[in-house]
Each structure stands twice: as structure tokens, then as C-alpha cells.
Amino acid sequence: MTITIRACEPGDAARLAIIGQATFLQTYAGIVDGGDILLHGSKTHGEAAYAALLADPQVDLFLATLPPGEAPVGFAMLSPPDLPVETGPGDLELRRIYALHRFHGEGLGPRLMAAVLERARARGARRLLLGAYGENHRAIAFYAKHGFTQVGTRVFHVGENFYDDVVLAAEL
């Protein structure tokens, strides 16, 4: 099974939306209220939202696919920071790194992280930041393996409820 990672193209909004919705559901079902998952999925992970991100020159998206026909299995997104911590001109945010659960432990996460880090460095970034749900210990451990440490917290709005996130950063 050969997973390909490539920079996204304008026509990838549907692939990104299905991965965004599927991985959010897989990760947070039983943790986040079901109605909030549906609302968040339709707004934040809708095809129109990804079409807008693909049109934004400040956003880089990377798609992981499998043959045949580029079936989407994961993606990562790099953007200017939008976090409640002090940021500077050399900062970028890893806003999303998503992989279908069946591909966890297969090296997909590190490959997506490598694509993001390479692009961040090419853009001249000195630091990469991200927000993660404070109870998502698996994700936080993954980020720690890549040099991220906690630099703050935030309250993250999903649907009608609020959740506590940690804000992590890594020097590049």
C-alpha cells in the first residue's frame, strides 16, 4: 500500500472535507456532543470551507492519498497563526494534521509532519505552533516527539460547547 503525499490543488476541497469530517468524528465521538460534531463538521469541515482555504495564498494544504483514484486518507494544513499566545513574524500554525485511524502507527503522521516542516522552513518560519484538545493524549505525545512543548492554553468552540486546548510550539 503506497500512500502519496502531495500539495493540494484547487479541486481537492471534497477530498479534504471528507477526511476532516471522518477524522473529527473518529477522534471525538463519545467525547464531544454528537450535535456539536455534526455542526462543526458541516461548517468547519464542509467542502465550501476547504475551497476557501485552498484559495487562500497564505494557507498550505498537503493531501495523503491511496490508489486507485487518490482515495483520501489524511491531510495537513499550515497557515498564519491564530492562537491566543504571543506570536511573531517568524511564526506559523499547524492548524490541522488528520489521518484516518486505520493509518495511525503506519508512519503517515510523521510523513505529513515532515511535509509541513519542510514548507514552514521554506516560508522562513522560525517557530511552528498548534492547538490540541487537552485530553487528546495520543496527539500531544505525537507532537512532543516532534519537539513541541506547551506555551499556553485556549478555549476551543465546537458547536454549542467549549473545550480546553493546549497550545504547543516547536522551534524550527
Give me the mean pLDDT over the 69-83 stretch. Answer: 96
**Using CA atoms, how far apart are residues 26 and 64, in angstroms rounded to an integer?**
17
Pick the CATH number of 4-171 from 3.90.180.10, 3.40.630.30, 3.40.50.300, 3.30.70.60: 3.40.630.30
Give me the mean pLDDT over the 135-156 stretch. Answer: 95
Distances (CA, A) of 22 to 82, 112, 122, 154, 155: 24, 17, 30, 24, 23
Give me the mean pLDDT over the 94-121 stretch. Answer: 96
- Confidence band of 57 (pLDDT split at 50, 70, 90): very high
Beta carbons of 52 and 77 less than 8 angstroms apart: no
* Residue 24: per-residue pLDDT: 94
**Using CA atoms, how far apart are residues 2 and 10, in angstroms rounded to an integer?**
23
* Residue 159: per-residue pLDDT: 83
- Answer yes or no: is pLDDT of 121 > 80: yes
- Confidence band of 77 (pLDDT split at 50, 70, 90): very high
The residue extents of the domains of the chain are 4-171
Give me the mean pLDDT over the 53-60 stretch. Answer: 98
Q: Which phi and psi (to 5°) does residue 148 adopt?
A: -85, 140
